[in-house]
Amino acid sequence: MRREILRYLWPYRIPFTMALFQVILISAFEILKPWPLKVVIDNVLSGKPLAWSFAATFDNETILVLSCIGLVLIYLLLGGLSILNNYTTIRIGQRMVNDFRSDLYSHLQRLSLAFHSRSRVGDLLYRITSDTYSIQAITMNGVFPVVTATAFLVMMFLVMIRLDWLLTLLALAICPALVITISLMSRKITEAATYFRERESEVFSVVQRAMSAIRIIQAFTKEEEEHRKFMRASVASLGASLRLFTLENFYSGVVNGVMALGTALVLYIGARHVLSGSLSVGEIVVFTAYLASLYAPINTLSQTWGVIQTAKVGVRRVFEILDVERDLKDGSRVFPEKGARGEILVEGVSFRYVADQPVLKNISVRIEPGQKVAIVGPTGVGKSTLVSLVPRFYDPVEGRVLIDGIDVREYQLKSLRNQISMVLQPPLVFPVSVRENIAYGRPEASEDEIVSAARLARIHDSIMKLSKGYDTLIGEQGATLSEGERQRITIARAILRDSPILILDEPTSSVDAETEAAIMEGLNRLMVGRTTFIIAHRLSTVRAADKILVLRSGEIVEQGSFNELVRANGFFASLYRTQFGLEE
């Protein structure tokens, strides 16, 4: 994990080095803080002459004034350096978080639908929004305090051992006890931090699921039940947080207790040294000030260890996702500038989401350029899965899919998907303007092109009735539009994309018969010259197809034109009588 973290720190090595230099300066000024007080006690109040030859002629008033000025300057410089150092480290940390978050989000965008289908959205959301901050905690709240405390300890040790080597060794005698405390507590803190983050991500998951299904929840009056689920997750999270907080505070208390014993021992021996005359009052004041300052970095080191252990959990959770290899390897081929011809060959394709539960079995079919192919069959037989193999939302377990004679796995995903326009179920719109929704696949499209696509999808008149026309913002999950309007927005989006391959998954399922006829008029114009897959149950759509594939139990049991399949009086004819008979 260290190497991966260093990779995110490397781009900021120059400001990081500057911050380390600032740390050394801060430590030096911390060392100087007690000395003006020593000069006042020993040289002004006790009358001892200054050891510096250039100050031999200074009177007590001058020494006192210079000591006070020196004290103010030390604190001012120390404060300024601390502000600068905090700004530098926070800036580096925030940029690292942004890079970390960017890589995670980009990686998630490129993982297959198979990965996303088995992952909880709320958990992924928590990893993006919260766990990514752990890299800042490890580097800026971990590395820098350690470096600062270490530099301060080294400088202070060199000064203190010159004052009184015995007291210095006594002060450091508590270090073995601190090391033992750290080793005993770190594992428990790590376990508690892991459990807390898992419970907190569960809260995100519960909220995300509920907000996505708020209409269903209200329709079935499940508000109280969903609230109970949320409270169970929230109470578990708060309990885990309390346990982690208690462990960290207990850890801090033990450390403070050990340091109190060390302080008492040093004060006792130091006072005896003053009484025996081996130390001056000013020197014991300086040493006592250093003692408090000595234990502060030791305490910082011990506390930082707990911070690092907690942060490592978050970093590890992010790398768990980043280490997931993309099961859809990107190819190297690109389509010619004029686009695909649209010839599609499915050869011996089998697919399953779960082992021993095949969804598609040995599917083979050839589709000529510009052909309209309808796919029908009962719910759950793999119709949507089959068309999902064309843009490589999934890869087949066996067999292959070819476009223009080339296995789709050899194409760059971006180039491949640019050849395909899709109208999927359920209709998905984004909480942006109507214009941006239609132009999602072609953001550079002109206003005329957007309006033309909307007219073809028979949605233009509805858009113009909205408060701001094409600039109207659509609510979350299209709450401001009807189901049929959302469907027609997605159709306009596919029309505007103008790709040589078209996938229509129930394109008219959410509209009435009159609107369906208008939409199909536009879609029929769009389908001319394009290879089109249509998953539909309505008779009008199925009749228009050049070829119909009939799926049953994951296999193609029949294929042919509408009239051929009806005359064959097989499974399709049975579907026709039961599902489409009223439309005849």
Tell me what pLDDT residue 70 has.
83
The conformation of residue 326, written as its DSSP 8-state character, comes to P
CATH of residue 22's domain is 1.20.1560.10
CA 168 to centroid of chain Cα atoms: 48
Token duo for residue 274: 């003053």
**Of 185, 206, 300, whose CA–CA distance to 251 is shortest?**
185
Question: 33 near 288, Cβ under 8 Å?
Answer: no
Average pLDDT over residues 146-153: 75
Number of domains in the chain: 2
Same-domain status, 67 and 197: yes
Instruction: Single out the residue in 277, 292, 322 at which a domain terminates.
Output: 322
Q: Does residue 277 form part of some domain?
A: yes
Residue 15 DSSP SS3: helix
Residue 292: per-residue pLDDT: 64
Residue 80 lies in a domain: yes
487 within some domain: yes
Where do we find the tokens 């005329």? 448
Mean pLDDT over the full length of the chain: 81
pLDDT of residue 306: 65
One domain, residues 295 and 441: no
Would you say residue 567 lies in a domain? Answer: no
In this prediction, residues 529-538 reach a mean pLDDT of 83
Flag whether 365 is in a domain: no
Region 468-490 average pLDDT: 80
Average pLDDT over residues 288-299: 66
Residue at a domain's end among 322, 337, 353? 322
d(CA 239, CA 565): 63
Query: What amino acid occupies position 400?
Result: R
Contact present, 419 and 335 (Cβ < 8 Å): yes
559: which strand partners? 549
Both tokens of 43, joined, read 């040289």
Q: Which region among 133-142, 263-272, 390-399 has the lowest average model confidence (pLDDT)?
A: 263-272
Q: Which two tokens stand for residue 219?
A: 């329709």
Q: Specify if 400 maps to a domain.
A: no
For residue 18, pLDDT over 70 is answered with yes
The Cβ of residue 56 has, within 10 Å, a number of other Cβ atoms equal to: 9
Q: Which of 306, 322, 338 is the last residue of a domain?
A: 322
* CB burial of residue 345 (10 Å; 0-12, 13-18, 19+): middle
pLDDT at 345: 95
Domain for residue 407, yes or no?
A: no
Place 348 in a pLDDT band, splitting at 50, 70 and 90. very high
* Residue 507: strand, helix, or coil: coil
Other CB atoms within 10 Å distance of the CB of residue 47? 8
The domain in which residue 42 lies consists of 2-322
Q: Which residues contact 574 (CB under 8 A, 6 or more apart)?
A: none
At 60-69, the pLDDT tens digits run 777 788 888 8
The lowest-confidence range among 150-154, 226-230, 276-280 is 276-280
Same domain, 314 and 460: no
**Residue 127 located in a structural domain:** yes
∠ CA(299), CA(300), CA(302), 5° rounding?
Answer: 65
Q: What is the pLDDT of residue 21?
A: 86
What token pair was written down for 118? Answer: 């088995």
- Is there a single domain that holds both residue 315 and residue 448? no
Cis peptide preceding 426, ω within 30 of 0: yes
Q: What is the mean pLDDT of residues 329-337?
A: 88
Q: What is the pLDDT of residue 384?
A: 87
Residues 101 and 222 in one domain: yes
Distance CA 243, CA 192 (A): 7
